[in-house]
Structure 1
């Protein structure tokens, strides 16, 4: 059976084949404007395959567009959803549907990697931080604006403040650098505080797994971080292989 994995976010659609060995194949990242992505998707996909496994945090309209586009490529589609317990992972939320499926799958991917406790940090439109202990228990998390969204929000309220540019320094002597340093620094502080708290609770320093399109903005200041750009797709692969519906 040939399967493809699809992670539909607020700004990008990522897709990859699922190998016979259960590993995620080469990833195609397709930017979208919240409305269209069909041209990029058609170029990435084979004409036919057997099954599409989809995770989506995008709007219902965009999700329907993806399902419609995939209908001409494959006869079977499944949509991942958050489960309270799944393959040794248990989440902290009392109401599973309130935990975004991207966070759930990233936790599932982190758990499947093994290696003990982990702090899972996703940097996209939002900055998400989730604490996973060595027994596969999700101990809760945090959500904040990403540095990119902070810059956009400032620019929207004060147009003279640019929404991009500048470099990270500890104390800036230029407005562009001060904006970059402040917004990135706020995200770093949240990650570092979360890591400190998780370390105290675990009695050991968890792995810091970094994923999402905005991760590069934090990576240089987090030398201990492990780049995990396919973490959501890795969790989706576990979902697909388990035959979840």
Structure 2
């Protein structure tokens, strides 16, 4: 049986095989391009896939491109969904459908490792979620990522470059000041969230950071654990736990 995991975000698609021992295999990825994905991404998939476990927060058109490609390989597709409780994790949202599945899966993976964790995703948005040692989600935050901040500034003020610059505490160049301000805003929000987490929990949680934009923040968060594939590992947990829920008793 061939089982593959797919994490379809707003800017990238990441995918990996799920090995027979439940471990996530080698991870590959591709960027979105206008109207779909990079042309060569299909060549990296096997000709036959039995089961595809998909998490998607992307636009419906992109999701359909992925689902059509998987159907052409004979895959039985399972779309991961946020649930009120699963595998020892209970989310804070009263309406689970309003809690992004990527955030849910990242929390599943974090909780499986044991202990409290502050989980930060850096993609199009910056998301921060706190889960305690008992698997209780304490809630979270959503803000623009540094990349989105730069793009938004550029759209409003064309002379402000959307990329470039080097972080400095007090920059003496506009591009450096932009990089410093946008990255610093993200770091400041994470650091404040850590302080508030300590106040709520009475102890400092692990800081887990994932997402395509996380690299820009690494130098500023020395205590962070970098988990590029946290959502894919959460998908593996979701698949196993969901199968257990569906299994007949006895």
Q: TM-score, normalised by structure 1?
A: 0.97
The residue aligned with 1:158 is 157
How far apart, in 1, do the equivalents of 2:14 and 2:203 lie? 34
Of residues 161-170 and 30-39 in structure 1, the stretch that sits farther from structure 2 once superposed is 30-39
Taking a change above 3 Å as real, the CA distance of residues 183 and 233 of structure 1, as seen in their structure-2 partners, is: same
Deviations 1:124-172 (A, max 9, x none): 0000000010000000000000000000000000000000000111000
Deviations 1:75-106 (A, max 9, x none): 31100010000010000000000000000000
How far apart, in 2, do the equivalents of 1:31 and 1:87 lie? 31
SS in 2 for 1:163: coil
The residue aligned with 2:219 is 220
Taking a change above 3 Å as real, the CA distance of residues 38 and 170 of structure 1, as seen in their structure-2 partners, is: closer
Asked if the contact 1:52–1:74 (Cα under 8 Å) also holds between the matched residues in 2, the reply is no
The residue aligned with 2:169 is 170
Asked if the contact 1:34–1:62 (Cα under 8 Å) also holds between the matched residues in 2, the reply is no
**After TM superposition, what 4+ stretches of structure 1 lie above 6 angstroms from structure 2?**
none
The residue aligned with 1:119 is 118
How far apart, in 1, do the equivalents of 2:145 and 2:40 lie? 26
Where do 5+ consecutive residues of structure 2 fail to align? Answer: none
Deviations 1:25-76 (A, max 9, x none): 1111110125212633312211112100000000111111110011111331
Where do 5+ consecutive residues of structure 1 fail to align? Answer: none
How far apart, in 2, do the equivalents of 1:81 and 1:197 lie? 29
The residue aligned with 2:202 is 203
SS in 1 for 2:4: strand
Deviations 1:9-38 (A, max 9, x none): 111000000011111111111101252126
The residue aligned with 2:137 is 138
**Cα RMSD, aligned residues only:** 1.2
